[in-house]
Structure 1
């Protein structure tokens, strides 16, 4: 089984789990970003994730983000497919507050959970990924 995070730059923070019972790996921002009220912004992590063919990595919002920080993951649940590697994965956040919100480099912004998935018997997907964010369709 192959499952690992790759740091793509010196600002990337290696993800870890807070406790032995934690399902999610804490993912931190690798840059400082300010998000204006109502604005949606991609936040770099400086990371890529290598995983097996039947793995998917799900991004889940930190429970403290909406109430304490005024931000939420814009797509509620992010999906990183195994063939996204070696591209950098990013978080997409919306500022739901009425004030600018600054995310600092090194600040934990979301959790990543690895999940095995299955395919239907008559699956016929044959396309190949040709890029990073939004590369399998229109954004």
Structure 2
């Protein structure tokens, strides 16, 4: 096998671009948004109220903390892209350097990891979504085709004394967790 990108069937007629490198020495493949998308500002989502509640101990219950977490959740921006790769590899999704500086957009977990077995999974065909949070004071409108993140193919190592893993992926986004 090799590594590369394909457009998921849902977007087959959407005139999307597969991720691409913009210079010869670029490590990252630029991902574009598959659709127009609006990322609301965290300031618009009761962010101040949540901070005030946390500071003043008014989020003492689990329900309060769950509500606060939902208020500040990241959004999944669709790319319409899936990635295939060799065993022992993964695709790291990273922010573009211009996102935080020019637009106030961050990946809330720092990076995203796309495992090789995510490709063509039955839940969502392996479509890659990029999690983003808008720290700016205004909503950010992303247009279809705008570059929103980058992916870097990377090899990984496993522990020599690891027990053999038998499980196989059966789900889509976030399915390798419990």
Structure 1-normalised TM-score?
A: 0.94
After TM superposition, give the deviation of residue 95 of structure 1 in Å. 0.5
After TM superposition, give the deviation of residue 137 of structure 1 in Å. 2.2
Runs (5+) with no aligned partner, structure 2: 43-71, 121-125
Alignment correspondent of 1:120: 159
Farther off after superposition, 91-100 or 114-123: 114-123
Count of aligned residue pairs for this structure pair: 138
Q: Does 1:99 align with 2:138?
A: yes
Structure 1 or 2, whichever has the larger Rg, is 2
Structure 2-normalised TM-score?
A: 0.74
| Runs of 4+ in structure 1 over 2 Å off | none
Farther off after superposition, 48-57 or 119-128: 119-128
After TM superposition, give the deviation of residue 2 of structure 1 in Å. 1.1
Alignment correspondent of 1:67: 101
Could you give the per-residue CA deviations for residues 26-73 of structure 1, whole angstroms, max 9, x where no partner exists? 011101111111152100000100100111100110000011112111
Alignment of 1:33-112 (within 5 A): 33-38=37-42, 40-86=74-120, 87-112=126-151
More strand by share: 1
RMSD over aligned CA atoms reads 1.2
Runs (5+) with no aligned partner, structure 1: none
Distance 2:138 2:104 in 1: 9
SS in 2 for 1:115: strand
More helix by share: 2
After TM superposition, give the deviation of residue 5 of structure 1 in Å. 0.2
